[in-house]
Amino acid sequence: MYLPDFEYYAPESIAETCQLLSQFGPRAKVIAGGSDIIVKMKKEVLAPEVLVSIKNLAELKKIEYVPGKGVVVGARVTHNDLYKSKLLAEKYASVSNAAGQMADNQVRNIGTLGGNISNAVPSADLPPIFIALNATVKLEGVNGERTMPLEDLFTGPGKTVLAQDEIITEVVIPDQKMTGSNYIKFGLRKSGALAVVGVAVAVEVENNVIKDARVALGAVAATPVRAKKTEEFLKGKTVTDELLAEAGVIASGECKPISDIRASAEYRTDLVRVFTKRALRKAIDEGHV
Amino acid sequence: MSVKVNKDFSYVGKSLDRNDSFLKTTGRAQYTADLKFPNMLYGKLIRSTVAHARIINIDTSEAEKLPGVKAIITAKDVPSMKWGLSPARFDENIFAIDKVLYVGDKIGAVCAVDEETVYKALKLIKVEYEELPAVLTWQEAAKEGAPQIFEEYPGNVNTEIHHKFGDPDAALKEAYYVRTDRLQGQRTYHAFIENHCSIGMWDGDKATLYSSCQSVHYLQYHLARVLGMKMGDLRVLKTHVGAGFGGKLDPTGLDFSALILSKMLGQPVKMFYDHEETFLNGHGRHAITMELTTGVDKNGKVLAHKFKAILDGGAYTGLGIASTYYAGSLLGVLYPIENYQFDAYRYVTNLPPCGAQRGHGQPQPRYAFEHHLDLIGEAIGVDPIDMRLVNARKNNTVTTAGYEVKSYHLGKANEMARDASGWKEKRGKLGLGRGIGVGNGGFVTGAGFCQYRTDLPHSVGMIKIYDDGTRAFVYSQAVDIGQGSDTVLLQMAAEAMGYPYEKCQMYAGDTDLTTLDFGAYASRQTLMAGWAVKRAGEDVKQKILEQAVEMFRESGRIKEGWAYIGNRELRPDDLDCKEGIVFVKQEPSLTLTFEEVARRYFVTKGVLIGRGWYHPGKLGGNHKGAAVGTSPAYSSATQIAEVKVDLETGQIECVDTWDVHDSGTIINPKLFHGQVHGAFSMGIGETIWEEVKFDDKGKLLNGNFSEYRLPTALDMPPVLSLTVEDSWEPNGPYGLKEVGEGATTPTMGCVANAIYDAIGVSMTELPITYEKVWRALKEKREKEQK
Ligand SMILES: Cc1cc2nc3c(=O)[nH]c(=O)nc-3n(C[C@H](O)[C@H](O)[C@H](O)COP(=O)(O)OP(=O)(O)OC[C@H]3O[C@@H](n4cnc5c(N)ncnc54)[C@H](O)[C@@H]3O)c2cc1C
C-alpha cells in the first residue's frame, strides 16, 4: 500500500478543469474528497498520472434553492454538508438522513456528492434517494454542458456516460408533488458498513391514495435501478398494509443482486421486499424523512 | 459500577489515571513505527502468493538492480534452525525452505533506502512455484490420502489430546437426561490497531531490537536461540504497544529480518507490516468444531461431560498446542465435573497459522458449553441461571484434574448478575424478537509454567530510589500493551513502599535495563509482576525503616515517645511509612520524610534498591497437559446480554449488558471496567460479525477493517460492570485476580443465548450473522407452515 507518484493540478475554474482533463486525456482523473480514488491508487486498482483537484471550485460547494428550478446541490458538497444542511432538513430530510448514514464521520467530512455519483458503485448511498426524487445531474466539459436525469448517468458498475473532459457540477432536485420520501440503508453494522441493500422511495399521497410513486434500489443490480413495476402497481391505490407488503414482493422481483462476501443474492432479494415496504410506510406517514 | 475500596490503602483500589494517558491522548506516545534512527533502512517480507507449493526459483536480479535496494535475503542467507513456541513442535523457519505453506508465508525480505523503493522492489521479485494440492479445511486435511503439509504430522494431525477423568460413559447411563450438541466456531483475528514493526541495529557484537511485542523475554529467547547468540548479546525492548490480544507473542519474520539485515548492512533496519500483512501474519483464534455430550440429574447438575474439539490450526504450530489444551482444560474449573472426557485434534492446513487470542482456546468452547447448558435446562425445565447456580464451583476447592482453586465466587456472580439485569422479569417474557441470555466464564491468572523448560523465576522486580529520595524508578520486563499494567504495577509498588504514586516512574519491557518478567499473556502480569514489584517495594520500605531507626536514634527526638515503646531499643517494626512519611506507629506525630531518610541512606550506604521475586511454585494437576490450565488463581464471571432481533431481516442489536466479575481485589477500578468494556466489544464482535475469510485458493478475502467487521461505538450496548466485593485471593498480591482474558470468555455464550431467547432457534455456528438469523427464521416459518 504505497501511493504512486502523480502530477497534481488544482485549477481555479470549471473551464480550466475541463481543459486540463481534455489535455491529459485518459492519463488524468478528477479528485474531489479522495476517499475513494486514493484508496484505489494505493491498492493499485487505478494509476492516474495526473490528478486534477476540484477543491478550488467554490461554486460547487453550494446547497441552495432556486425558485422555478429546485434545490441545487453542488458536486463538491460533502456528506456532512448534506447531513447538516438546514435547507435539506426542511425540504428533503430524506436526503440529509441518507447522507448521515454513510461511512463514518471522518469520511463524511471529506467524501463528496460528485464523487459518490461518479464512482458509480452499485452500493453507493446517495444515488437512490436522488433518483427517487427525480433529480437531474449537470455535466460540464470543454464543449459546453448537458443535463440529464441522474438515473441515465449510470451504465454499469463503475461506468457512467461522463466523457473524459467532463465533470459533474451539480445535482438538482426539482420542485415536485411528492409528499414524502425515504431512504433505508441496510449495512451489516451501524457505522462504517457499505449498503447490502439500499431502498429509496418517493410518493405522492392524497386522501390515503397513492397518486404517484418512485422506487429506486441500490446494491442489487449493476447500477442503481428503478422498480418501475412496483411504481405502476402502487399508482391509484389506497394505502393499506397489505398493499405495501405486496409492493415489497413486486420490488423484490425487480432486482438482480449478486452474491458476494457481504450477502447472498437470495438474502438481498428478500431485504428489498422488507425495506420497500418499510420505506413506503415511512414516506406515506411521515413525509420527507 | 461498584468496586470495594479498602480504606487502608493509599493507592490500591483507586481509579488513578493511566500513567501514559496524557501521552497517548495528545498523540505524543511513540510506537515502534514512529521511531527513526540515523541512516535507518526500511524493509518488508517477500510473501508467498500461493497456498502450497515447492519453491523452484527466486529471481531477485531485477529488484537488485533498482537504485536504493540494499539487500534481498531468502532462506539461503539465514540460519536454518527451526523454531516455534511449543517445544516439542518447532516447525517454522525464518524463511520457507523449499516449500511455502500458505498465501502470505515468508519467503524472504527486501531492504532499501526508503519505503517506496521497498514496494517497488517487491514487485520485481519473481518466485517460481511448483504448486501442490492445498488443504484449506481440517475436513480436507483429515481425508484419506489428503496432501501432507508436514512430514512430521502424518494425516496432518498436529496434536491430539485425550483426557479422561472418572467414568463418563457409566455416568451418562445413569443420568436423568442426556443430550448431544454440535457447534462450530470461526477463525477470528485480534484486530489490534498497531501493526507489527521491528527495528534492528548493532554495535559491535551487541544487537538491539525494538519490537511491538507482548513479551520481550520470549522474543529475546527465541531470537537468540535461532541466531546462535547469547541472550545477553541481544537487547529486546519495546516502546508503547498498540495492543496485542495474543497476536504479538510469536516472533515474526520482521524480528528475524531486522536483526539479520541490520547486521549485514551495518545500518539500522525497520521492518513493518500493513494491516493486510498483519492479518496474514495470523495467529488469531482457531475455528473449532465442537461436539458436546452431557448427562445431568433432575436439577441440572452435570454428572458427566464428553467434549470433542477439532481445531483448524493453519500452517504452523505456534502456540497452537496450548490453544488445543485450553479448549478443554478450564471447563472443570467453572463447573465441578467428576466424569469428564476431552478429546481434541489440531490439524494443520494451508492457511495462516492460528494461535492465542484473548481467552486463548477457551471462548468458543465456552460458547458451545453455555449454549448447550441452556438447551439442557430447557429440556428439563430448569431456568438458565439455576442451571449455573447448581453447577457453579465453590470457594476453596480442588478440580477433578487436581487444580487448586482458592477464591471462587461464581455462584455469587450469577446471583448478582441475575438481580442487576432484572432477569426474573425478563427471561422468556420479552416476546418474540427480544431476548436475554446468560453465560459464565473465567480464566487463569497466569500460567503455572514458563513457555520453555527453565528454572527461572516468573517475575523479578526492582525499584531504585533516586539519590535524594525524590523519585522511585520501578523496573520490570512486564509489557504494557494497552491494558494498563504499568499503572497498576506502579500503584502496587507505591503502596508497598509507602511512597507517593505520583513520584513513581515505570521502566518496563527492556531486557537490558529492566528485570525479568515473561510478559503479557495468560492474564499473568498483574499477579506475577505484581508480586515482584510489591516485594521490591517492601524491600525498599524495610531499608527505609531501618535507616529511619538510626536517624531517630541519632537525632535524640525519639526520647519523648520512648515510654510508649517500652524499655528497649527502637526497632524498624515500630515504624511504618505511608505516602512518603515515616512515622512511629505508637506515636504518629514522630515523623521523618521518606526523602530525607532515603537521602541519608544514599549518603551512608549507596544506592537504595529494593528487590522482589516471584515463582508460583508447584501447582496442582499431574495429568499430561496439566501445565496448561494450572494457575495460582482463577477468576470467574457471569455476563448477561439483552438483544433485539429484527424478525424480517435477522439484524441483531445488543441493547444492554451486565458483567459481574470475581477478580479478587480490584487494583484500579477504572482500568478494570475498561477491560470489561473491551472484552464485551470483542466478544460481541466475535458472536455476530467477525470472521476471517478466504477464497477457494486460500487467498485472504477480508484483510481490512471494512470487510472484517468489528463492532463500532454505535454498535456497543451500555455495559454495567460489577464485582464480587468480598472476593480475596490469597495467592495474589493484595488479594487480586485477573480480568483481562476471563472477561471475553462468557460473552459469546451469553449473546448466543439471548438470541436464542429472542428467536427460538438455536444458532450453532459462529458468527451468528444477520443473514444466518434471517435464514434460520425463514426455515422455521416454512416448517411451521407445513
Ligand atoms: C471508509 C469508507 C467508508 C465508505 N462508506 C461509504 C458508504 O457508506 N456509502 C457510500 O456510498 N460510499 C462510501 N464510501 C465511498 C466514498 O467515500 C464515497 O463514494 C464518496 O462519496 C466519494 O467521494 P469523494 O469526493 O471522496 O470521491 P473521490 O475519491 O475524490 O473520487 C471518486 C471518483 O469520482 C470521480 N469524481 C469525483 N468528483 C467528480 C466530479 N465532480 N465529476 C466527475 N468525476 C468526479 C473521481 O475521478 C473518482 O473516479 C466509503 C469510503 C471509505 C473510504
Q: Which of A45, A190, A196 to mutate to test the interface with B (most CBs of B within 10 A)?
A: A190
User: Is A160 found in the same domain as A66?
Assistant: yes
**Which residues of chain A are within 8 Å of residue B119 when distances are taken between CB atoms?**
2
Q: Which of B275, B653, B774 to mutate to test the interface with A (most CBs of A within 10 A)?
A: B774
Q: Which three cell numbers stand for residue A201?
A: 422511495
Q: Which three cell numbers stand for residue A48?
A: 492516474
pLDDT (tens digit, 9 = 90+) per residue, B608-659?
Answer: 999 999 999 999 999 999 999 999 999 999 999 999 999 999 999 999 999 9
Beta strand A167-173 pairing with A70-74: antiparallel
H/E element holding A101?
A: none
| Mean confidence (pLDDT) of chain A | 97
- Where are the CATH 3.30.365.10 domain residues in chain B? 21-27+456-614, 287-393+408-446+621-785
Smallest Cβ–Cβ distance between B649 and the set A186, A192, A261 belongs to A186
B188 DSSP assignment: B
**What three-state secondary structure class fits B278?**
helix
A window 179-218, beta carbon within 8 A of B:
186, 188-194
C-alpha gyration radius of chain B: 28
Please say if the pLDDT value at position A257 is more than 60. yes
pLDDT (tens digit, 9 = 90+) per residue, B85-127?
Answer: 988 899 999 999 999 999 999 999 999 999 999 999 999 999 9
Beta strand A136-141 pairing with A70-74: unpaired
Q: Does A106 touch chain B (CB under 8 A)?
A: no
Q: Which of A174, A192, A225 marks a domain boundary?
A: A174
User: Is A155 found in the same domain as A67?
Assistant: yes
User: Is A228 found in the same domain as A153?
Assistant: no
Percent residues over pLDDT 90 in chain B: 95
Question: Could you tell me if residue A257 is inside a domain?
Answer: yes
- State whether CATH 3.30.365.10 applies to domain B287-393+408-446+621-785: yes
Question: Could you tell me if residue A230 is inside a domain?
Answer: yes
**Residue A101's CATH number:** 3.30.465.10
Long-range CB contacts for residues A213-217, cutoff 8 Å, separation at least 24: A213/A280, A214/A131, A214/A132, A214/A133, A214/A134, A214/A178, A215/A132, A215/A247, A215/A251, A215/A276, A215/A280, A216/A127, A216/A128, A216/A129, A216/A131, A216/A132, A216/A151, A217/A128, A217/A251, A217/A254, A217/A255, A217/A272
**Residue A270's CATH number:** 3.30.390.50
Phi-psi region of A42 (alpha: psi -120 to 50; beta: other; left: phi over 0): alpha
- The answer to pTM > 0.90 is yes
CB B56 within 8 A of CB B285: no
Question: Could you tell me if residue A1 is inside a domain?
Answer: no
- Ligand 1 atom 3 nearest Cα: A103
User: Is A49 found in the same domain as A63?
Assistant: no
B window 743-772, beta carbon within 8 A of A:
769-771
Q: Does B276 touch chain A (CB under 8 A)?
A: yes
Q: Where are the beta strands (DSSP E) in B174-261?
A: 177-184, 197-203, 206-211, 234-237
Query: Measuring CA to CA, how many Å separate B229 from each of B211, B492, B509?
Result: 18, 35, 20
Q: Does A43 touch chain B (CB under 8 A)?
A: no
User: Is A70 found in the same domain as A38?
Assistant: no
Q: Which three cell numbers stand for residue A152?
A: 441515465
Which CATH superfamily, name and number, covers B32-132+196-272?
Answer: Aldehyde oxidase/xanthine dehydrogenase, a/b hammerhead (3.90.1170.50)
Q: Which of A174, A207, A224 marks a domain boundary?
A: A174
H/E element holding B271?
A: strand B269-272
Question: Could you tell me if residue A85 is inside a domain?
Answer: yes
The arrangement of secondary structure in B21-27+456-614, i.e. its CATH architecture, is 2-Layer Sandwich (3.30)
Long-range CB contacts for residues A193-196, cutoff 8 Å, separation at least 24: A193/B706, A193/B709, A194/A123, A194/A219, A194/A262, A194/B706, A195/A123, A195/A124, A195/A125, A195/A219, A196/A123, A196/A262, A196/A263, A196/A267, A196/A268, A196/A271
User: Is A241 found in the same domain as A264?
Assistant: yes
CA dihedral B516, B522, B524, B526 (to 10 degrees): 120
Least Cα distance to A123 among A201, A45, A197 occurs for A197
Q: Which of A38, A53, A68 marks a domain boundary?
A: A53
User: Is A165 found in the same domain as A88?
Assistant: yes
Chain A nearest-CA residue for B648? A274
Q: Does B711 touch chain A (CB under 8 A)?
A: yes
CB contact under 8 A, B701 and A271: no
H/E element holding B705?
A: none
Instruction: Report CA(B751)–ligand 1 centroid distance (Å).
Output: 36
H/E element holding A282?
A: helix A265-286
pLDDT (tens digit, 9 = 90+) per residue, B522-543?
Answer: 999 999 999 999 999 999 999 9
Residue B586: the pLDDT is: 84
Residue B563: the pLDDT is: 45
Question: Could you tell me if residue A277 is inside a domain?
Answer: yes
* Chain centroid offset of residue B767 CA: 21
H/E element holding B263?
A: helix B253-265
Domain containing A251: what range? 180-286
With cell 504499568, the residue in question is B486
CB contact under 8 A, A261 and B774: no
CB contact under 8 A, A189 and B701: no
Residues of chain B falling short of pLDDT 70:
1-7, 557-567
Query: Measuring CA to CA, how many Å separate A264 from each of A222, A245, A258, A267, B771?
Result: 15, 22, 7, 5, 8
Question: Could you tell me if residue A141 is inside a domain?
Answer: yes
**Which residue type does B151 have?**
E
Please say if the pLDDT value at position A215 is more than 50. yes
Instruction: Report CA(A35)–ligand 1 centroid distance (Å).
Output: 5
**Residue A19's CATH number:** 3.30.43.10
CB B640 within 8 A of CB B437: yes
Pocket test for ligand 1, best of A8, A21, A36, A167 (most atoms within 8 A of CB): A36
Question: Could you tell me if residue A2 is inside a domain?
Answer: no
**What three-state secondary structure class fits A165?**
coil
ipTM: 0.97
User: Is A164 found in the same domain as A78?
Assistant: yes
Question: Could you tell me if residue A160 is inside a domain?
Answer: yes
B81 DSSP assignment: -
C-alpha gyration radius of chain A: 19
Query: Measuring CA to CA, how many Å separate B497 from each of B326, B472, B487, B578?
Result: 37, 9, 15, 8
Q: Which of B110, B712, B768 to mutate to test the interface with A (most CBs of A within 10 A)?
A: B712
